[in-house]
Chains A and B, each alone.
Chain A
Amino acid sequence: EAGVAQSPRYKIIEKRQSVAFWCNPISGHATLYWYQQILGQGPKLLIQFQNNGVVDDSQLPKDRFSAERLKGVDSTLKIQPAKLEDSAVYLCASSRTAYNEQFFGPGTRLTVL
């Protein structure tokens, strides 16, 4: 089966600019996750979707970050405006349900200058 697809793979922006990331999960996976991984740290959950609905967005900085999952399939994560501390790898993952193993995409490396 095809894996989790993410784009772009790399993005460099100036602070205060906007950026959007796209994720296409594995077909049939109900749960989709967005993580932020700073160098040397483990992935930090930003938002978790179950089909169209949000299960957890407690660690999403809602003043600047937003995410949506279109028709329970693809998802986009947006940052507006970006700050220097947003420089990180943004990982998308999907799983059949919330209790199953997660399949990760390759990530998008964001650099904010």
Chain B
Amino acid sequence: SQKIEQNSEALNIQEGKTATLTCNYTNYSPAYLQWYRQDPGRGPVFLLLIRENEKEKRKERLKVTFDTTLKQSLFHITASQPADSATYLCALDNRDDKIIFGKGTRLHILP
């Protein structure tokens, strides 16, 4: 069956360290993968998109990798800050214009 799996438990990271979130998928062959941030009571906000032919994408303190062999994407936040605390969602396409979201990972940056 098709699955998207993100870190099931909340992730606690000390301020200033790098936070790494994982998105694994099975039985999909996405052409691209997106990462979103969601704060309580708000809609998700787009962060980064990475295509299947790209290994890595960066935006300020954010970095995303995409390994189609491992069927995995890693999302890194360097020099993490308490303001980075939120739920992070990965989403992938199913090569038919449709987007499927994972359950998300709650990230807590501890001061």
The interface of chain A, by Cβ under 8 A from chain B, is 4, 33, 35, 40-45, 48, 50, 55-56, 91, 93, 98-99, 101-107
CB distance from B42 to the nearest CB of A (A): 6
Tell me the dominant secondary structure on chain B's binding face: strand
| B interface residues, tally (CB under 8 Å) | 23
Q: Between A and B, how many residue pairs show CB distances below 8 Å?
A: 56
The interface of chain B, by Cβ under 8 A from chain A, is 4, 32, 34, 36, 41-46, 49, 89, 91, 93, 96-104
Contact A93 B43, beta carbon cutoff 8 Å: yes
A42 and B99 in contact, given A101-B34, A101-B49, A105-B43 (Cβ under 8 angstroms)? no
Contact A42 B104, beta carbon cutoff 8 Å: yes
Contact B43 A107, beta carbon cutoff 8 Å: yes
A58 to B91, CA, bound (A): 18
User: Which of B32, B34, B42, B101 is close to A44, meaning CB atoms less than 8 Å apart?
Assistant: B101
